[in-house]
Amino acid sequence: MALQSVVSGFGLSAGLIIAIGAQNAYVLKQGLLQRNVFVIVALCSIFDAFLIGLGVGGMGYVVHAHPGLMAVVRYAGAIFLVAYGVKAFRAAWRGGGHLEAVEQPSRSTWQTALQVLALSALNPHVYLDTVVLLGSIGGRLPWPDRAWFAGGAMSASIAWFSLLGFGARFLRPVFRKESAWRMLDIAIGIIMLSMAASLLFA
């Protein structure tokens, strides 16, 4: 039963986290630039693990009981995503986005950490996936299967962010071209604005 719970948690978490979103787009871009990749991967994984633990531990039911909490995060997240999306479109418009042109200057570790935390904490989809959905499913399991489920879900998050962040380097030859970088910035802008719209008009 323990193995079944681990596999179930891993599979469900992987299915949710692999979907294209603001967090994944940011990790991919920074992985291409090779900027503070370890910090980004670690923070994204830790944040997800923390929320999964809260959800499986019963926080998912609290969120359901207080929808006002999600409303605050939803509007704050929409504002942040719009700003980030506009920034991506501006980068695509200005050009000069081939890999050599954007490698310097690099953000400080603290700046990167704050941006990752903002992108994660102000994204209601993260809470819906981890706290609400994974929490509502894993929270129904008895102990210790609940813990095994959470461990599997956390493992999927760590594996995915590591693959995305550290594996992006293999795409660097493609992004030596400015056109490829423009397309990435446009795609990121579309993702950010689409997510903001889904938050505001859902």
pLDDT in tens, 170-193: 888 887 777 887 888 888 888 878
DSSP at 131: I
Distances (CA, A) of 113 to 10, 109, 119, 126: 26, 6, 10, 17
pLDDT value for 101:
44
Looking at residue 10, its amino acid is F
> Which structural domain range is residue 122 located in?
2-201
Confidence band for 19, pLDDT divided at 50, 70 and 90: low
Overall domain count for the chain: 1
Asked if the model's pLDDT at residue 56 lies above 80, the reply is yes
Interatomic CA distance for residues 63 and 131, integer angstroms: 8
Give the span between the Cα atoms of 34 and 55, in whole angstroms. Answer: 32
Mean pLDDT for the stretch of residues 148-169? 93
Q: Which tens digit of pLDDT belongs to each residue from 75-124?
A: 777 887 788 788 888 888 886 555 544 454 556 788 889 888 888 887 77
* CA gap 155, 148 in Å, rounded: 10
The pTM of this model reads 0.77
Given this model, what pLDDT does residue 49 score? Answer: 92
The confidence score (pLDDT) of residue 41 equals 95
